[in-house]
Structure formats: C-alpha cells, structure tokens
A and B are shown apart, each in its own frame.
Chain A
Amino acid sequence: MLVDNGFGWVVDEAETELYPTVALRTRALALIDATEGVTVNLAEIELRTLDVLEVEGVEFKPDEEDRPDGGVLVDQASGVEAIRSADRLRGAERRAKLKQLAEQRFAFQVLRRRLDGDE
C-alpha cells in the first residue's frame, strides 16, 4: 500500500532498524507507525504550523541563489518539487483536506490494538 502510493522510501526507513528475524507483528506495527507518520501526523504538523505562524499557507521553494560555489546545488529532484508546487492545494481547500486527514487517526489506533491482541 505504501509502495503503491509513492511512499516506498518510508518502508525502507521503517525497516532499517528492525532485525531481519523480527516477528511479523513487530514489522506490521512498525509499518503502521510509519504510515501514520506520513499521513495523520504530518497533517497535524502542518495545521499546527499554520496556526502558530498565523499565516494563510506555508510554501517551500528551492533557493535559486544557491550557487555551485556554495557547495550545494539545487538538484533535479528539487526542481521537480518546484514545478509540482505550482498546482498543489492551497488556502481553505488545503486546510479542509488537512483536517480530514488528521481525523483518520482512529483507523491506525484500531489496527494497532488488534495487532496487540487487545480487540
């Protein structure tokens, strides 16, 4: 599910510190945590950031003044990010989507409880 949605790198990070022989249940819990991290938790992080900074939106753009002699170039991937940011959700529409995503925590809690054998 993570890989199909473009989050394959999250799977790698979730499994990096797991022993290869770890129980399937432990691996499943790690993946649930990681998935919660890239969905619900990030939505809460963005909502909190907007509220504390009291701004309408937070944008991220590559620094075009970053020069080769500065030692770090804006790479091709960042350039792609800049193009994608042009059509990203903004304003009230984005905030509504963030709230909708933040409300999905229950599903993760239930799955975790079922893996723990509490349900």
Chain B
Amino acid sequence: MATSSFLTDVEAALGMAVTLDYASKAQQHDLYEAYVLTLLLQAAHNEGWTVELRDGLGSTVTSAVFRLGPGRLPSRGYTFAHMSKSGKPDLEAHLGVKVSGRTPIGVSPATGSGRLLHEFDLLVLPATDANACRTGNADPGHSVVVVHAEMKYFGGKLPLPVGRASVGMVVECALTGKSVLVTNQLGYTVQDLVEHHGVTFRYRVLPGNPKAEYHLVQRFRSLL
C-alpha cells in the first residue's frame, strides 16, 4: 500500500484522539497517573493487600473521579484506593494531592501547615493520617509519605529539568528511597541525575511493554 494511505490512517487516529480529549496535555498527564495507579494496585494485590476504590465519604465507587491538576486530599469528591492487609496499618493511595514540605513559609501565601505545599502525582500514606487530614481539613505532611511517584507522559525524550525538579522534590520532602519517577519515554541524563539522588527511574512504562510494567510493579512491591 502507498505511504499516503497510512498517513491517512494516522490523520484519522489524530481525529479520534481529539474526540477523546487527548489534545489536552493535562488530560494526558492525569490519565497516565491513573494508569500508574493501576500498577501500584497490582503490586499491592501481589503483596497480599486487599484493595478497594473509595470516594472521600468512604463509599465504594463504580466510576472513578480523579483530580484534573493539583488538589487537596481533604476534598471529598475524588476517588482513592484503600488498601488493607493483616498485620499492617491500612494505607491509602491518592492522585494529584498536595503535601507540605520542609520549607517554612516566608514571603509566599500562608498555608495551614506554615510550610510550602507541593503536588504529588501519586501519594501513598497511612489511612489514619489520611483520615486526620479529612477530619481537620489539612494537607498531609511529608513525614507520613510511604510511597511517592511522579509521572511524566512526554512526546520525546525527557529533558534534564524534569530530573532537577524530581531531585528538588526529594530534597524538600525527604523522599530518598521512597520516590519513583515513571515515564513513557527514555531520558538518560534524567536517569543518571535522579538515581544519584535516590529516586528510582522507570522508563517506557506502557501497556505494550510488559517488562517495564513488571519492573515498576516490583519496585512498588518493595515500597509497600
């Protein structure tokens, strides 16, 4: 077949992608976050955790609602995963919530904790701490983080500033050994930088790459 025929197929694919709202960068990023959450849940399942999707009122859900852009854990309208396992404290996994770091507020706008807030793409924390946040309308502190993951869904190789941001987050929130940077792409300089600072780097993580999915799931298993 002529190349032009396949280019027509590609154009049709782009048209479908527009219909599905994929032209929005935010939508793509948040969808990738939800996908990585499924890999965390797979890791939890493999480790013997019972997983249940809930909303902010504690009810189970049949349709998931996640945050578009950054939000707050106490917000009630969003889906999170509740995880329980005999002999372990219950955990919760949230997407797109802010966590207070170590830097005290100086000239920037006041926050409830008096410290700067940072968005975590994926946060796992003890359920007791999450409940305390909901009850007190407070953002979680960095000291309660069990697992942190940043996701980068990119159209090309990751540029180095992505790695610098990741390292900055690790330093600010004391996340060495708890943090994973997950991407659909490669990024050699980013990988060197973040791994030097104790961040696990998992690349080309996609449904069509079971090997990459396996290595990410194994990392999540080790962190739970």
Contact = CB atoms under 8 A, between A and B. Distances in A.
Interface of A: 1-2, 5-7, 9-18, 30, 32-35, 37-49, 52-53, 55-72, 74-75, 77-78, 81-82, 84-85, 88-89, 94, 97-98, 100-101, 104, 106-108, 110-111, 114
Query: What is the predominant secondary structure among interface residues of chain A facing chain B?
Result: helix
Interface stretch (B29-37, B124-132, B140-148, B168-176): B29-37
B220 to A, nearest CB: 14
Contacts of A62: 67-69, 71
Given A1-B14, A52-B41, A34 B3 contact: no
A63 B68 CA distance: 7
B77 interface: yes
Contacts of B153: 37
Contacts of A35: 10, 13-14
B207 A38 contact: no
B63 A6 contact: no
A1 B14 CA distance: 8
Nearest to A88: B21
Contacts of B28: 38, 42
Interface in B36-86: 37-38, 41-42, 53, 61-72, 74-75, 77-78
Given A65-B75, A71-B117, A41 B23 contact: no
B16 to A, nearest CB: 4
Contacts of A32: 10
6 contacts: A9-B25, A14-B155, A38-B14, A39-B16, A104-B10, A107-B10
A67 to B, nearest CB: 8
Contacts of B25: 9
A101 to B, nearest CB: 4
Contacts of A94: 20
Nearest to A6: B23
B155 A56 contact: no
A15 B154 CA distance: 11
A52 B207 CA distance: 12
B151 to A, nearest CB: 11
A55 B156 contact: no
B119 interface: yes
Top 8 closest pairs, chain A to chain B, by CB: A63-B71, A13-B155, A107-B9, A34-B155, A52-B38, A6-B23, A60-B68, A17-B157
